[in-house]
Structure formats: structure tokens, C-alpha cells
Chain A
Amino acid sequence: MAKWKHNLKTWLTRRLELPADAVMDLPRITMVGQLHIYIENHQGVLKFSNEEVRLLLKQGQLLIKGKDFMLKTILPEEILLEGKIEHVSYLERPEN
């Protein structure tokens, strides 16, 4: 059922050209050079330190690495992170 729903959503975004982040609850990530990273649709902070931030997403996690991190703004669904961003990667949830 879940799989079918996921397929429908993917099909709808493709066919109707709807924004994927709105339809599929995906994170929208905006970066300004290495200075800022702005993440929408996150599900909470898992780890926060000067060199590493781990955010919970609907599917999996987002790992950001760098230096001198500071959370400028944090709202229920958005985060603005400042510092020197060196690395952004997804950690996939192992498929059940």
C-alpha cells in the first residue's frame, strides 16, 4: 500500500509538474556558498556540535559536516545553519 502511494506521488509530480518537496515531504535545501545552509521540512535535530549536525528527515537523515556551526534560526520545519559547510550527505534508512 505504502509503496503504491509512493509511486502515485512520484507519478503525479512528474506528470503535473508539482514541486516535489511539497508533494513528497522531501527536504528542500538551500545553500549560500559555504556560509549558510537552509533546510525546510526537517523532523528534528538529532545531533548538534561545532563540526557536525544531524537532522531527522521523513526518510533517513541528513548529515552536515563543517566548522564553527551555529543554528541561527530554528523553527518547527526550518533550520538556518551558519558556519563553514564542507560536506552534506544523506544517510539512507535501511530498507525493511
Chain B
Amino acid sequence: MKEYIRELFSGYVRIKVIGSYTELFINRCIEYKIPIWDIARLDHETIILSLYISDVRRIRPHLKRTRCKVRIHERKGFPFILKRVIYSRGFLTGAISCLLLLFILSNMVWSITVNGATPEVEHKLKQAAVELGVTRGKFIFQLPSNQELQRQITEKMEEITWVGVKRSGTTYHFEVVQKQLPEKQPALNPRHIVAKKKAIVTKMYVEEGQAQVEENTYVKPGQLLISGFIGKKEKSELVPAKGEVFGRTWYVSNVSIPLKSTFITNTGERKTSYAIGVSRFHIPIWGFGKPEFSEYETVEHETNLRFLKWELPFSFQSKKMLGTEEVTRTYSKSEALDAARSVARKDIEDKTSDEAEINKEKILHHEEENGKVNVKIHFEVIEEIGKNIPIIQGD
């Protein structure tokens, strides 16, 4: 039984030995400890016997000595079966398609996990991801890069402050930091509210504390608006002053607008080409030739291809060529002034808080110089002017 298993595993051959002294050949094989078995005679010059493949070389000198010739009759055992199987066309195509399938599947998105989000937000996030193309079965190299996904999802979803996108293998992980609902404000320390800039007070809401100024008074920076002391002098009590004070403030903004300017815009024409990158070479696979438009900018995106857990030295590259156009814009004088106004307005909005409101604007002065218009604009803004300062008590 043991022998039989060995025969099968190491593989053996049935050979025909032809010659006048075949018995001598058998004896020599025994003498030199070459295992042979199942010997039968076919005719008076030919015997047939079994031999391990590893011994085929060793019988050569004995064949010569005994003037015998050898013909291989049959090959048996697993090594030969294996060889036959491996070199058969069906097996080969099967193996290749299996590898191919594995390769394709290793470059697909298989699962998406979300961490640190409430179920509701998780659902929304998954929907947002689907809109961006991150779904099961998508090719990873077709998707935007992680940073891009991160940026787009963060922009899209109001409920989250930050999302970290990480891809490990075929899984996308979204690490979410959700916006916190405003918590109850902690107990405040006693404080005053003072003016932070010169203004004319337009409106006051005092929640706590004592108003020190009236509407339509002119205040200087640092002037006390709402006092944290309440009550009469003897029984005065300290509270954190709370309230809103709106005042009229003034800004002057200098803007200079060129009358003639050139800039580059996209025409909307685009052409995409794909290539496989092997180390430093590119093999284009789709989208050959130059685009029909002469001026363009290119956006490139490269993803490494993977096989199971290994990173392959190949990458999938997509190159988008966006047609561009140079546009020259010329302003007439009034258009230039309008443009200057909107630029200045934007500037003021950036400088002041969100609640601020532009009340009045007036062009103070404008002049043309070297193809530019310099404009000086005065703005009257109504905004919150209060600032908290703590009351530090000396004992």
C-alpha cells in the first residue's frame, strides 16, 4: 500500500526494454538497487517494466552494458497527470480567467463603512457617497481621490464638520465628526459690555445688566454700553451683562479696477484619455490623439492597480483635457464703477460679521490712471458693536 502511494506521488513510467540479454538487465538493476517492478515479457526480445521517473537516468549505463534499447510505453502518477492538466487548454484558460477575475475584483469597491455617525447621518452620508459614485461594484480607479471625496462630502453635508476618507483594499472607511448641537452656555462670569469701535448706537436689547447709553448716542471704542452692576449703589450686585447693541459704523474702501483685463475660461469642451502606467511609461488604451481644441488645461488622476493585497507596479491613469479660451473684458467707465462697488461691498462683508448690514454707500472719489479706475467708497454699516469684558474685582 505504501509503495503504491509512493508510485503514484513520485510518478513512474512503463518502459519496454528490447535486447537479447534482458535478464541481465534485470539483474544489474537489482544489483545497483534501482527499484523495478511489474515485469512481464512481451516477446522473446522484449520485456516491459515499471520504473520511477527519478531512476530513468540511472538505467542508461546498464542499458548500454547489456545492449538493450528502451522505449517509453506509458507515463503514470500524479506528476504526469498534473503536467497533462496544466498544459491542457481548458485548465489554462480557467486559471487565467480566475486570475483575471481576481484582479478585476481586487480593484472594485466591496464595502463602505461609516464610523462615528448617528444612523440618520450615516444614511445621508451613504447617499452622498452614492452620488459621488462610491458604491459597491465600482472600479476604484474610476473614483476621485480620497482627498477629493473628503472635500466634496464635507461640502455637501451640513451635519458634519469633518469626514475622513480612507481606503484600505476594497473597503472605504468614512470617519465622521458630527457637528455638536450648541450646548447650554456655562455660567458666565460677571462682565460689562463695551463698544469695540466708534459708532452711533441704533438699537439696544438688554437682557441683563444696566444700559449706560441711549439710542442715537455717539460712542467711542471702550465706552461702557451695558454695565454688569445692577441695583442701587449700596445694594449693587454683579451680573454677567448680556445683550445686543447695534450701531452705525463707517468704513472707507479703496478699490482699483483695471478697465481691460484678460483671463482664461473653460469652453466646456473636454476630452478624456485613459492609460496604463508601467513605472515611468504610459500605454494609452483609450482616447488617442490631440484634442480638436488648441488651448486646454489638463487634469490628471492616477490610481494604482491592486491584486489581492498587493499593490501592482501598474497604475490606471485618466487625463482630462479641458478646452480653455482667453477672454478679454473691457469695462466702460460706469461698468467699472459698478464692478468696483461690488468688489468693495464684498470686501466690507468679509470684514464685518454676518449680521452686519450695509446701510448706505457712496462713491467719494474716482480717477482714471494707467488704464485703471481707482475708486474710494464710503460705507455706512449697521452692526453689532458690543464686546464683552470681564469685571475683575479687587478685594
Contacts and interface: CB of A to CB of B under 8 A. Distances in A.
Interface of A: 44-50, 69-76
Contacts of A49: 41, 44
B171 to A, nearest CB: 60
Nearest to A50: B41
Contact of B47 (A44, A46, A48): A48
B23 A74 contact: no
Given A46-B23, A47-B23, A74 B41 contact: no
B41 A69 contact: yes
Interface string B3-43: 00000000000000000001100110111010011111100
B31 A48 contact: no
Contacts of B36: 74
A96 B254 CA distance: 140
A75 B26 contact: no
Nearest to A73: B37
Contact of B30 (A47, A69, A70, A74): A74
Contacts of A50: 40-41
Given A46-B23, A49-B44, 4 more contacts: A44-B27, A71-B38, A74-B26, A74-B37
Contacts of B23: 45-48
B26 A48 contact: yes
A44 B37 CA distance: 15
A37 B37 CA distance: 15
Q: What 8 pairs across the A-B complex have the smallest Cβ distances?
A: A71-B39, A44-B27, A70-B40, A45-B23, A49-B41, A50-B41, A45-B26, A48-B23
Nearest to B32: A76
18 contacts: A45-B27, A48-B22, A48-B47, A50-B40, A70-B39, A70-B40, A71-B26, A71-B37, A71-B38, A71-B39, A71-B40, A71-B49, A74-B29, A74-B36, A74-B37, A74-B39, A75-B30, A76-B33
A49 to B, nearest CB: 5
A48 B24 CA distance: 10
Contacts of B40: 50, 69-71
B41 A48 contact: yes
Contacts of B44: 49
A69 B47 CA distance: 12
A85 to B, nearest CB: 15
Contacts of B27: 44-45
Contacts of A44: 27, 30
Given A48-B47, A49-B44, A72 B37 contact: yes
Nearest to B3: A73
Nearest to B44: A49
Nearest to B47: A48
A69 B367 CA distance: 124
Given A47-B23, A48-B22, A76-B33, A70 B38 contact: yes
Interface string B35-79: 011111100100101000000000000000000000000000000
A69 B26 CA distance: 15
A3 B11 CA distance: 50
Contact of B38 (A46, A48, A72, A76): A72
Contacts of B31: 76
A44 to B, nearest CB: 5
A46 B44 CA distance: 14
Contacts of B41: 48-50, 69
A30 to B, nearest CB: 18
